Structure 1
């Protein structure tokens, strides 16, 4: 194999696929795939509005062992080449995990390459294998997990791909490294030599301190130990993999989280840093449901502060794309709705993510994947991955998935073509974390995205960042390493990638490397604002020459403190106000946002994931000309009403809980003020007309087939109408008429508010389509002329979850659960059994009303 420093010929590639459309994980179970089914499913993906696939070979299907194709075998390479070729023909991209399952490992991992941990033997630290095997491995991918701290192990591991994948005429866009799950690995064969070279002393000389977690010296030695592992992971393993990929023409998608390293530095190595959104956030949006069986204590919830590690690394290094594994385990199988997915996507957007990857879709052969409610065969639900959510053709929301895809496409088209507009860099004090006791296996701090309450939020860093976020400040994180790379301009702004920053904030911390204090000195002398929370740290991390190095730190700090651009503050938020750092005050009303620059304009993405705000005057930190609102859900834009009170200019924003929009502020001069200078009541105070019953219900296409029609005086779940209705998955039509006695104001905006919908509603008003309501709030704008005075007719086709049918199907056809390894489990990782589920509420639950406002 050519050395990693040698150049490698880039493989041929077709036209660039769309990155604004969402991509999806695509699990190949046992790689029991065929060219015909690959082409068929790629057609489905393209028509649904997906932008690409990320192939992950995993465990197989019982009864299909003979059809399984060993990973990287000649036959596997042939079907993979077919996939890339056919995907490119359809405008789709293809990414590939550099392995099967997770983490890296396989049959070519020899004992000397395998993950290791230390143990004490005869008074000496020696290594032993962890014996961890690749999790969820595909045929041909089984074997030990590689040593994540060894450069030579990674180099040997990657040779398998040079002799197989690199021989193909067409290649994937990117290779992928999943989140760190090398459990118990905390050592590598050459660790003593690496430690001595990097830390300046022999670890064996301080063995007693290393083993004593209560002493001061022990704490410092442990800091050195964890920093050495972090550097080895960054330089030897992740660095080797990303260099190998770049030299062969691949981009890299890297999930650094879960690792014992500094996440900012690790994400920064990747072409496309990737975070993860696992489980459902507890947004207080009225009507938003969460699965009551989801165990927060066990699995945690998504948090934007964790997501910002990936986007911060991208912003500081000028990477245009930041991706996310999206929607994993939002709810149990067959229970996830589109209305639950959208708020999670919106939260990702506000955290700087702009390249969504669904998690995900499972390959299913023909006859194993029902794609519409008529189901010509009885092989539904096809092949499924053990972890919900299913975004594939057998999902109950597949017919409406193009609506979500279109929404994401519109959002990402703007987010990917704009640049960050954050004012602050907040230093991440990794050494303070290393000074606390680790809870993870192997005695290391694993910085995983699930439980930020265990490592991120308790730190002063986490507390400060959460306060800044909720009060409307825009910021990124910075590490010791990236701090040393920063440049400044003549105005004292930090310039990095396509971003610029006006100040660096050092949260309250005990330890700071003297080299970092020197870098802060450099920046401050070039005019950069530096703010220390509480005081300047007076200790360096680590054991070697601790006192002398700490003295250097204090001397540097004393000089730094005398500079006029340096502040020490107990209240950082108050200090930011005095130095003119921009704040979006309206964020304290429960609105999340990201602010970006697009040419000479400032662009906001704002989402209401709370229950405090509905409409009101807001003052944007960006000044300029008219403020244009763009609704990515409807593809409509309008100019917001504005007013000026003294020197403050505000705009009137209506944004119901669950809604989101873009606001663009152009650099043009503001329009003449047209509103009263002291007006306190904004335009468009809403009026509501309730639409009561009776309602005619007709059961239409679905399973099991029901010939059922009912008239009901008021809206209720259709599962209450008959015992058989509790098992029905499909569509029910709701019909009613209502009188509009008031005249129609041509200047007013009219909306149909459906209230609670389980789960999607296709609406016709007076015989004309009004649209499909699929997310919270379930509202549709009524075009001018479609609503008329007097009698109006409303027809609403509502489609529910497949969970109710699975209650029956799982009892009658349990053989669909036929997968190796973990098979199918529920949201608590117990064997899946839907036969005892209660019926999920279904249909139009209302209340339904016509809402109007100016």
Structure 2
């Protein structure tokens, strides 16, 4: 376990630089870091030492590498066991957990809030998140303002639990009783808001600061000059009222002002006090589970120092342009430029005053930070870049790549992911479903999986135990648990390669942040909506913030056409170094950078791109050169310098849709379509994607690692081109652990071709080597005859699960065990299917392919008392060498189904297992909600379960593929 930050970073860096093996292929050692980890919910922190040890032992035995402790809401009936977050007893339990984790070889991360975002009862009103609102007033020439300059905040209250009358509540919210019961989400009290500024604007463009002329009673002592009328804009600072979501006991309270360094420092100081005198250095990382300081009332979009910070950073006084900030200036371009500057300022404050401040604090505790930056009103590439372990979630590859891109560009060895969140509705996800979710993350550049998630559940809790509202339930109570270790071993094998070497993408894709910053949010009806609610944009991958901009289409096309790429921000562009034609970052190198039809580009960014081209790089502008600078400050001078730079790019006539300009030693390319542009830049795509395969590639000292998946729905059996130099390719199957030297032959255009056999849902690792490798060949399977059925009869014995073990059964026709009896309909667990059979007639050349047909949902296979392996799907096949078959054979298939059927039985009988505070228990789909809005399976029919077949044996050769 990493006990200090320095050791953490050194170990990670050493891992990333591990040289390739020049000898025969061999599986890398499975380390704690290579294994998948899981989010570990402590509901109500109602934990005890005996159950902590019992559960951690089970997790370790199932192949998990570590746990992230996240304290959340409690369980009804367990109130006497609740432990307040960060209380001395809570820290005692954390210390005990760290000690046991070290004994068991498990890593531990800790979420730095009880729920999310950062906040709690120790957050004062001064440090709580803020918003800005405004009022306008009209004053005629020579007149005075009759009404007071005042804004009374409207009371509002949102709660997951029973609502209260906000007028009778105590302030702040954390002082109120029964916080677990009410589960407040947002609360605003009725009270006057402090004035931030009052500005007067004339029709002639004059601006006058009247803030100092407003008395304590709100009366304005000012007479407008004679002539035309004046419009007054008053900005007021409000208390956003956002509460910590899903908080556990002792963690309920206001969310911090993330834009304030003082608020962040004060928040973290509370942890210093709670940890004082304790040895907690075994905590590897502190974690932030989402930004999410937004709701129906708008984003938290203000901090007391914003006007001062804006002037310092943007070079002009925002108070002179309040109409433009709110989209009311007659010049729409000015509206957009001021809005862009405001958003840029907020982005910088969130980067410096929260993310960087938090990271620096963690280092004082010899710890890292893991951060989910998505959802922030900021350039999240920059937030991820200062994070030790960037973390993402979701299924969209472009969204996933925001976190991994920042890690790749800045040299972070790990990208983590909250994996399989809401993968399906409760109790329906199979291990095959989770494998698909894992593969998606790995393809997006993630190499540190965190399942979402695992509940601490005491041994005394009745089945299904303690649950979380949005999870696959990776718990020992889940009936897939006996086979869960197979998925974990698969993930560990994949990550042992994907944590080694360096990223090997060719393309940097510029993120046009300022085109997004300058784009106003759509204004909902009514038209007089408070425009201050529309100031910020919620950045969460491409769909939130960049949807409709050309970068979205370009990113999708690069994925579809087989180009490896990473996003890059303006700040990161400034760190690029030219190494001849290559672009060097802190983490790796790239062949080119693509600017996808960006209209507004900062002067510094364009200057850096031109400078890189002068040094020998190829810079690609898709859709034309940028047309203008961003923002309003010092606009004329920046525009003039911008145009001068553009004047250095002398484009020639188009060839194949591409215009070319020589700039110094390098080249600038301009065209409409990205693929001919990349071809002109000498970037080649991986054409394996044309067969339905997906991949990600990393570089090692003597070649490349490829992670390749086949989720096309069709088997792949043939030669696949690799667009990299290779004289040898080792092939690894991370699920079956089969390995060997792949069939390799020269292909078109001098590229090698490797022979792959991938069933639907199957994956492999390829390790290319630029030097020959002498080692045993990979044994490809070929049918050598017709499939022969194993007709049974089958004896079925239920061996583990509940609510009761059904009676044994005999069957010749393989059908769902739910047809056996009422007890079997309600059963979730494991059944052993056993049959005896004579060795098939005729000698198989090398062995037999056992195909179980359909399985619901996972299976462990035994032949003649020997374990052959575990199959988690979606294909259920395994090769049996001929020497393992006898004249008479006994085949046992232990099949585990999911939790659904037992849950259906509970819901149909009205047995209550949903007894949780806060969210209790949400359904993903509307059709699975009861009349109280809670999850129910009462309308479901039992899911198919067991060995469904048909089961066959096919004579098979297992030999090397000859070069052709």
Q: TM-score, length-normalised on structure 1? A: 0.89
Cα distance, 1:244 vs. partner?
Answer: 1.3
Establish whether residue 616 from structure 1 lines up as the match of residue 718 from structure 2: yes
The 5-angstrom pairing of residues 426-825 of structure 1 reads 426-438=509-521, 442-449=534-541, 452-456=542-546, 458-489=548-579, 491-561=580-650, 562=661, 563=663, 564-645=666-747, 647-669=750-772, 684=782, 688-691=786-789, 693-701=791-799, 702-736=801-835, 743-746=842-845, 748=846, 750-787=848-885, 793-812=890-909, 814-825=911-922
Residue 140 of structure 2: aligned partner? none
Distance in 2 of aligned mates of 1:684 and 1:37 = 50
Query: Which of 282, 286, 308 pairs up with 2:401?
Result: 308
Residue 264 of structure 2: aligned partner? 154
More displaced, 682-691 or 532-541? 682-691
Query: Which of 399, 402, 412 pairs up with 2:495?
Result: 412
User: 1:256/1:721 Cα in 2 relative to 1: closer, same or farther (>3 Å)?
Assistant: same
Cα distance, 1:734 vs. partner?
Answer: 3.0
More displaced, 708-717 or 151-160? 708-717
Establish whether residue 265 from structure 1 lines up as the match of residue 362 from structure 2: no
Distance in 2 of aligned mates of 1:12 and 1:480 = 31
Query: Which of 452, 466, 469 pairs up with 1:359?
Result: 452
Tell me if the contact between 1:103 and 1:177 (Cα under 8 Å) persists in the aligned partners.
Answer: yes
Query: Which of 86, 97, 100 pairs up with 1:86?
Result: 100
Encode CA deviations 1:644-665: one digit per residue, 9 max, x unaligned: 3564432211111100011111
Establish whether residue 140 from structure 1 lines up as the match of residue 233 from structure 2: no
Distance in 1 of aligned mates of 2:503 and 2:598 = 27
Tell me if the contact between 2:732 and 2:765 (Cα under 8 Å) persists in the aligned partners.
Answer: yes
Distance in 2 of aligned mates of 1:496 and 1:11 = 22
Distance in 1 of aligned mates of 2:419 and 2:276 = 29
Establish whether residue 180 from structure 1 lines up as the match of residue 278 from structure 2: no
Distance in 2 of aligned mates of 1:348 and 1:320 = 15
The 5-angstrom pairing of residues 43-62 of structure 1 reads 43-62=57-76
More displaced, 840-849 or 218-227? 840-849
Tell me if the contact between 2:257 and 2:263 (Cα under 8 Å) persists in the aligned partners.
Answer: yes
Encode CA deviations 1:509-537: one digit per residue, 9 max, x unaligned: 21111110011012111111101002101
Secondary structure at the aligned position of 1:816 is classed as coil
Gaps of 5+ in 1: 1-8, 278-301, 369-378, 675-681
Distance in 1 of aligned mates of 2:276 and 2:849 = 56
Cα distance, 1:692 vs. partner?
Answer: 5.5
Encode CA deviations 1:99-132: one digit per residue, 9 max, x unaligned: 2110001111111111111101342222101111
The 5-angstrom pairing of residues 35-46 of structure 1 reads 35-46=49-60
Establish whether residue 235 from structure 1 lines up as the match of residue 235 from structure 2: no
User: Which has the larger Rg?
Assistant: 2
Query: Which of 441, 446, 456 pairs up with 1:348?
Result: 441
Tell me if the contact between 1:695 and 1:715 (Cα under 8 Å) persists in the aligned partners.
Answer: no
Residue 304 of structure 2: aligned partner? 189
Cα distance, 1:742 vs. partner?
Answer: 5.6
Cα distance, 1:322 vs. partner?
Answer: 0.9
Tell me if the contact between 1:690 and 1:847 (Cα under 8 Å) persists in the aligned partners.
Answer: no
User: 1:520/1:848 Cα in 2 relative to 1: closer, same or farther (>3 Å)?
Assistant: same
User: 1:686/1:813 Cα in 2 relative to 1: closer, same or farther (>3 Å)?
Assistant: farther
Tell me if the contact between 1:346 and 1:607 (Cα under 8 Å) persists in the aligned partners.
Answer: yes
User: 1:98/1:731 Cα in 2 relative to 1: closer, same or farther (>3 Å)?
Assistant: closer
Residue 294 of structure 1: aligned partner? none
Encode CA deviations 1:806-842: one digit per residue, 9 max, x unaligned: 1122344634322111122222473122233211111
The 5-angstrom pairing of residues 212-361 of structure 1 reads 212=327, 215-277=332-394, 302-361=395-454
Cα distance, 1:448 vs. partner?
Answer: 2.2
Tell me if the contact between 2:132 and 2:302 (Cα under 8 Å) persists in the aligned partners.
Answer: yes
Encode CA deviations 1:265-318: one digit per residue, 9 max, x unaligned: 0001111111113xxxxxxxxxxxxxxxxxxxxxxxx11111111111111111
Secondary structure at the aligned position of 1:267 is classed as helix
User: 1:713/1:47 Cα in 2 relative to 1: closer, same or farther (>3 Å)?
Assistant: closer
Distance in 1 of aligned mates of 2:737 and 2:796 = 32
Cα distance, 1:622 vs. partner?
Answer: 1.5
More displaced, 221-230 or 560-569? 560-569
More displaced, 813-822 or 69-78? 813-822
User: 1:12/1:684 Cα in 2 relative to 1: closer, same or farther (>3 Å)?
Assistant: closer
Residue 120 of structure 2: aligned partner? 106
Cα distance, 1:793 vs. partner?
Answer: 4.8
- Figure out how many residues of one structure are paired with residues of the other and give that number: 798
Query: Which of 67, 81, 94 pairs up with 2:81?
Result: 67
User: 1:398/1:11 Cα in 2 relative to 1: closer, same or farther (>3 Å)?
Assistant: same
Residue 679 of structure 1: aligned partner? none
Gaps of 5+ in 2: 12-30, 137-232, 524-532, 651-660, 959-964
Cα distance, 1:20 vs. partner?
Answer: 0.8
Distance in 1 of aligned mates of 2:545 and 2:952 = 47
Secondary structure at the aligned position of 2:70 is classed as strand
Residue 170 of structure 1: aligned partner? 280
* Coordinate RMSD, CA, aligned: 2.6
Cα distance, 1:538 vs. partner?
Answer: 0.8
Distance in 1 of aligned mates of 2:698 and 2:423 = 29
Distance in 1 of aligned mates of 2:42 and 2:51 = 12
Distance in 1 of aligned mates of 2:911 and 2:7 = 46
Cα distance, 1:685 vs. partner?
Answer: 6.6
Tell me if the contact between 1:697 and 1:732 (Cα under 8 Å) persists in the aligned partners.
Answer: no
More displaced, 812-821 or 262-271? 812-821
Residue 26 of structure 1: aligned partner? 40
Distance in 1 of aligned mates of 2:687 and 2:284 = 41
Cα distance, 1:694 vs. partner?
Answer: 4.7
